[in-house]
């Protein structure tokens, strides 16, 4: 398709969508289901362990189950959205999420909660993968990177607020109340999406669907060395964060003896770092190449993880030193994820759902694998967390350096033109 044709298609789509900020708010609300489902009940981990007479490793399986559900759910929702459009699979996923959250609230045992968390993750995955596909429907290249950074301004509030809300809820209710709140959030999210979110994938651009077509899409993606490189690098960076997410309730509340309320505040502080770095990334994209920003983010993550390992192993600087190192590691994700996602999806406009699904699946699978590893040393040490974070962040950097390739200059030029056109059109229009 010619440059003029691409710009015309982009403009036509933008006129049927909300303004960029309104769209970011809507998609941010949908995407936030992931961090909210993962983070909100973290302060209750020690309470869950006591109520169900379970070990830390067993309780962390409830997190792992949700991550696996979020991973595999994207393999279903992504291709379905390529075949059926974005709205229907999204709304069905939200409805199932609401029911699963209510069932989690009445789970009678650790095993039951693990199974229900898997279903909750499967349903919530629809929001994650379809939100990315919608962005790819509307934006490319630099414009997409900027929008993903804008999205982080919205989604960044979720990990900031989730543990704080969870810790405050625990002051007057049990962990079951947390899942009731998640069910209410699912209801509000579904209503907002139904009323305001348009269909962004025209019928003529939808794929035929079916197992054969889906397998063919995934096969093409797996054969693309660069796509796999960006997906694995982003996924391992994601795993760095989930090593922290899984271990932090026990590390901070058991090892360093902070209260659930203080834990929520410390967790929120690190989430603010992601928010800041994400907005810095949005400002730099267009001035600095996405690959350069991605490289800086990954290098920063490795360096800070090594510092964290040294501090944990020596005990030097105590909790303040550990929190400072964790802040840098977690914040670096604000540079890594927008650019890794943009670069991975750049060459797949006609199968954005499948590409987004595979990207998200790898992220959450690697996160699910990293999460239980941090408990191998028991509840009384932060050393396993630091070791896992060093390993996965270093692996991400090595894969990025050896497997990925730059976007062709012609595509970068087109992305810049589309960025200006799309931003102007989308900002000037709103959904009826």
Write out pLDDT tens, residues 85-107: 888 889 999 999 999 999 999 99
Indicate whether 209 pLDDT > 70: no
Indicate whether 418 pLDDT > 60: no
| Two structure tokens written together for 398 | 């090595």
Provide the total of helices (H) and of strands (E) in the chain, helices listed first.
19, 0
The answer to whether 257 and 29 have CB atoms below 8 angstroms apart is no
Indicate whether 399 pLDDT > 90: yes
Indicate whether 289 pLDDT > 80: yes
10 CB-side CA count, 13 A: 29
Indicate whether 301 pLDDT > 90: yes
Regarding predicted confidence, which is higher, 105 or 253? 105
The answer to whether 336 and 298 have CB atoms below 8 angstroms apart is yes
- Which candidate, 5, 19, 22, 21, places its Cα nearest to that of 425? 19
Indicate whether 6 pLDDT > 50: no
Enumerate residues 6+ apart whose C-beta is below 8 A from 259: 253
Percent of residues, the chain, with pLDDT higher than 70: 81
- Which candidate, 71, 89, 69, places its Cα nearest to that of 80? 89
If you search the block for the tokens 């690959």, which residue do you land on?
A: 291
Digit-coded pLDDT (tens) for 23-77: 777 888 888 887 788 878 888 888 888 888 888 778 888 988 998 888 888 788 8
DSSP state for residue 172 in the 8-state scheme: T
127 burial (CB, 10 Å; 0-12 / 13-18 / 19+) is buried
Q: Is the pTM of this model over 0.85?
A: no
Enumerate residues 6+ apart whose C-beta is below 8 A from 170: 43, 44, 47, 178, 260
pLDDT (0 to 100) of residue 349:
63
Of 336-340, 367-371, 396-400, 408-412, the poorest mean pLDDT is in 408-412
Indicate whether 142 pLDDT > 80: no
- Which candidate, 154, 388, 405, places its Cα nearest to that of 282? 154
Angle at 120 between CA 81 and CA 166, to 5 degrees: 125
Instruction: Determine the Cα–Cα distance for residues 299 and 302; give it in Å rounded to an integer.
Output: 5
pLDDT (0 to 100) of residue 34:
79
- Which candidate, 353, 369, 346, 333, places its Cα nearest to that of 93? 353
Sign of the alpha-carbon dihedral angle for 181, 118, 136, 403: positive
DSSP reduced 3-state for 240: helix
- Tell me the backbone φ, ψ of residue 315, rounded to 5 degrees: 80, 5
- Which candidate, 28, 161, 186, places its Cα nearest to that of 105? 186
Indicate whether 80 pLDDT > 50: yes
387 CB-side CA count, 13 A: 11
pLDDT (0 to 100) of residue 229:
92
* Bridge partner list, 205: none
Enumerate residues 6+ apart whose C-beta is below 8 A from 317: 311, 324
Question: What does the mean pLDDT of the chain come to?
Answer: 79
- Which candidate, 345, 408, 413, places its Cα nearest to that of 138? 345
pLDDT (0 to 100) of residue 152:
63
| 105-129 mean pLDDT | 91
Q: What is the CATH number of domain 17-200+224-427?
A: 1.20.1250.20
- Tell me the backbone φ, ψ of residue 288, rounded to 5 degrees: -125, 140
């Amino acid at each position: 398709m010619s440059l003029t044709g691409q710009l015309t298609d982009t403009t036509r789509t933008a006129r049927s969508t909300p303004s960029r900020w309104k769209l970011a708010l809507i998609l941010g609300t949908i995407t936030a289901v992931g961090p909210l489902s993962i983070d909100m009940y973290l302060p209750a981990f020690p309470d869950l362990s006591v109520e169900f007479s379970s070990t830390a490793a067993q309780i962390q399986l409830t997190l792992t189950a949700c991550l696996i559900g979020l991973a595999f759910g994207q393999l279903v929702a992504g291709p379905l959205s390529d075949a059926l459009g974005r709205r229907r699979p999204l709304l069905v996923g939200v409805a199932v999420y609401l029911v699963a959250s209510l069932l989690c609230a009445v789970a009678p045992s650790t095993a039951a909660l693990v199974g229900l968390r898997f279903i909750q993750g499967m349903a919530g995955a629809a929001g994650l993968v379809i939100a990315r596909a919608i962005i790819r429907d509307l934006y490319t290249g630099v414009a997409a990177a900027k929008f993903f950074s804008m999205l982080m301004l919205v989604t960044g509030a979720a990990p900031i607020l989730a543990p704080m809300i969870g810790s405050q809820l625990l002051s007057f209710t049990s962990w079951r109340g947390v899942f009731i709140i998640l069910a209410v959030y699912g209801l509000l999210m579904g209503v907002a999406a139904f009323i305001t979110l348009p269909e962004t994938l025209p019928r003529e651009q939808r794929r035929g669907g079916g197992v054969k077509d889906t397998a063919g899409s995934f096969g093409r993606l797996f054969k693309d060395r660069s796509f796999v490189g960006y997906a694995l690098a982003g996924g391992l960076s994601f795993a760095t964060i989930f090593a922290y997410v899984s271990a932090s309730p026990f590390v901070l509340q058991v090892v360093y003896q902070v209260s659930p309320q203080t834990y929520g505040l410390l967790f929120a502080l690190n989430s603010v770092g992601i928010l800041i770095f994400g907005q810095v990334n949005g400002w730099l994209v267009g001035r600095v190449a996405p690959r350069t920003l991605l490289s800086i983010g990954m290098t920063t993550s490795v360096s800070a993880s090594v510092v964290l390992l040294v501090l944990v192993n020596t005990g030097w600087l105590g909790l303040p030193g550990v929190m400072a190192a964790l802040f840098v590691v977690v914040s670096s994700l604000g540079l890594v994820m927008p650019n890794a996602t943009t670069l991975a999806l750049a060459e797949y406009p006609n199968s954005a759902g499948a590409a987004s699904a595979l990207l998200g699946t790898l992220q959450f699978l690697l996160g699910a694998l990293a999460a239980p590893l941090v408990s191998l040393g028991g509840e009384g040490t932060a050393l396993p967390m630091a070791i896992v974070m060093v390993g996965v962040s270093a692996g991400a950097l090595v894969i990025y350096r050896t497997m990925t390739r730059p976007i062709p200059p012609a595509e970068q030029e087109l992305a810049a033109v589309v960025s200006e056109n799309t931003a102007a059109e989308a900002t000037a229009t709103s959904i009826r």
